[in-house]
Amino acid sequence: MTDTKWTGGCQCGAVRYEFSVKPDNPCLCHCRMCQKQVGNFFGAYAGSHTDNFRVTRGEIAHFRSSADAIRGFCRDCGTPLAYYFLSHPRLDVTIGSLDRHAEFKPIRHIGAEGMAPWWREVADLPAMPTGVVDTYGDTDERFEMIKASNRQHPDHDSDHWPPM
Ligand SMILES: [Zn+2]
Ligand SMILES: [Zn+2]
């Protein structure tokens, strides 16, 4: 892992990318199109000039969601990866796809017209680590099995993937 490149990729590892500078303007977009792209209440994005971005493994598949906007994803695992306009040389990636995602604290909400009315209340909900609430009949053995068989690409570049 290098500290000078800002790398990321999809869950399965078929697509990897890097920025030569730290992506800027981290934000949460609540517009309905971003909600639909990521299948969530909002999309979280940070980006940079397209000159600072390159794909280092595989390729990003695209859905042209309007005349000017492109939504990028991994064709193999479906991870939402990118968002950009054809008319503007900037590319944003989904913050969750960045290896060092926790270093991107959002600085604003956009698409506020689509914000769920209860949005500001969810930060105060009870918070428990994975496995504490027994929703799916979880057991320690099951979590060990899941951990041992985890096929998610690690949060750093890899020479070979999948490893086996
Ligand atoms: Zn993938
Ligand atoms: Zn949006």
Ligand closest in space to the Cα of 61: 1
Q: Tell me, what CATH number does 53's domain have? A: 2.170.150.70
**Span 30-63, pLDDT tens digits:** 999 999 999 999 999 999 999 999 999 999 999 9
Ligand closest in space to the Cα of 57: 1
What is the C-alpha to C-alpha distance for residues 8 and 30, in angstroms, rounded to an integer? 23
**Span 75-121, pLDDT tens digits:** 999 999 999 999 999 999 999 999 999 999 999 999 999 999 999 89
- The answer to the question of residue 76 being in a domain is yes
What is the C-alpha to C-alpha distance for residues 132 and 36, in angstroms, rounded to an integer? 29
- The answer to the question of residue 32 being in a domain is yes
Tell how far the Cα of 76 is from the centroid of ligand 1, in angstroms: 5
- Whether the upstream peptide bond of residue 162 has omega within 30° of 0, thus cis, is yes
What is the C-alpha to C-alpha distance for residues 130 and 143, in angstroms, rounded to an integer? 9
- The answer to the question of residue 97 being in a domain is yes
Q: Give the chain's largest Cα–Cα span.
A: 52
Tell how far the Cα of 102 is from the centroid of ligand 2, in angstroms: 21
Q: Name the one residue in this structure whose structure tokens are 């999948």.
A: 162
What is the number of structural domains in the chain?
A: 1
- The answer to the question of residue 67 being in a domain is yes
- The answer to the question of residue 148 being in a domain is no
- The answer to the question of residue 164 being in a domain is no
What is the C-alpha to C-alpha distance for residues 131 and 111, in angstroms, rounded to an integer? 33
- The answer to the question of residue 80 being in a domain is yes
Range of the domain at 82: 6-118
Taking ligand 1, which is a single-atom ion, which protein residues have CB atoms under 5 Å away?
A: 10, 12, 14, 74, 76-77
> Per the confidence metrics, is the pTM higher than 0.85?
yes
Tell how far the Cα of 74 is from the centroid of ligand 1, in angstroms: 5
- The answer to the question of residue 157 being in a domain is no
Tell how far the Cα of 15 is from the centroid of ligand 2, in angstroms: 23
